[in-house]
Amino acid sequence: MTSTRTITAISAAALLALPSAALAHGKGKDDRPTTRPVAVSGAVTAVDAQAKTVQVAVHGRGHGARHAPRTITVSLGDAKLTVPDTDGDGTPNEIEDLRAGDRVVALGTLARTGDATTLTATALRSVTPKRATRTLTFQGSVSAVDASARTLTLTVARGNRAAKPFVRQSVAFTLADAKVKVADRDGDGTRNELEDLRAGDRALISVRIARDAEATQPFAARKVVVLGARKAHPPKRNGHGERHAKGQRR
């Protein structure tokens, strides 16, 4: 479990990275919400993708937001999101990538309506620690690839612990944001393009998803590395200089 001290340090660093206007202290003794930008940090408690809002349990407040309640509604209608792709659709920075429990920092303006306080965000950044994600590594043979649709199917031969349930299965991947490492096969003079991938290639594919997310296909590939062909090992020589195939008796 992430310690309170670690979360506070992460939130503070993220707040410092936001524009200085967010932390500017207004004149006067009253620090109530104004139309000036303010910054808050905390943990997401609920997400409403349709309404484009999230509920945030506030842990840290910048100047101008010291009177913000412990829980606020953050409106993300026109906000710039900086959030990793956690739903596996290949597109980061979407409200659908936010999850309850995510640590976030939001910049915007506060407004009160009755007992409710809403922060209309101009920007929201996820500061969830990296260890809240997990990496799946697949190795196998490419059975199908569509460069125009940016998709690939891999027959998995082996994988790391998180990918073990998919061994000996055909697994689908999207390649929208994948980094590809492959030789120039189409003769255009440029390596590392989707058009250079071929069915039959031995490939290593890595995927990153949220630790608590279900591993569902298609996976959004982060990296695709085409491996070289397996080398044939020559038969070993015996003490008399004669060659013997592996397993053959003398």
| Domain residue spans of the chain | 4-128, 132-227
> Residue 108's closest CA among 119, 100, 94?
119
Percentage above 90 pLDDT, the chain: 41
| pLDDT band, very low/low/confident/very high, at 100 (cuts 50, 70, 90) | confident
Largest CA distance in the chain: 96
Q: Tell me: the pLDDT tens digits for 26-45?
A: 344 444 444 567 888 888 99
> Do residues 169 and 157 lie in contact, with contact meaning Cβ atoms separated by under 8 Å?
no
> Residue 172's closest CA among 114, 134, 135, 217?
217
Q: In the predicted model, is pLDDT for residue 240 greater than 70?
A: no
Q: Tell me: the pLDDT tens digits for 68-90?
A: 667 889 999 999 999 987 776 77
> Do residues 77 and 51 lie in contact, with contact meaning Cβ atoms separated by under 8 Å?
no
- Average per-residue pLDDT for the chain: 79
Asked, colleague to colleague, whether 4-128 and 132-227 share their fold, the answer is: yes
> Do residues 67 and 33 lie in contact, with contact meaning Cβ atoms separated by under 8 Å?
yes
| pLDDT band, very low/low/confident/very high, at 126 (cuts 50, 70, 90) | very high
Q: In the predicted model, is pLDDT for residue 139 greater than 70?
A: yes
Q: Tell me: the pLDDT tens digits for 39-71?
A: 888 889 999 999 999 999 888 665 555 666 678
Q: CATH fold of 4-128, please?
A: OB fold (Dihydrolipoamide Acetyltransferase, E2P) (2.40.50)
Q: Tell me: the pLDDT tens digits for 146-195?
A: 999 999 999 999 999 999 999 999 999 999 888 899 999 888 988 999 99
Q: In the predicted model, is pLDDT for residue 1 greater than 60?
A: no
132-227 maps to which CATH number? 2.40.50.320
- Length, in residues, of the chain: 250
Give pLDDT, residue 12. 45
Q: Which two tokens stand for residue 119?
A: 């922060």
Give pLDDT, residue 110. 83
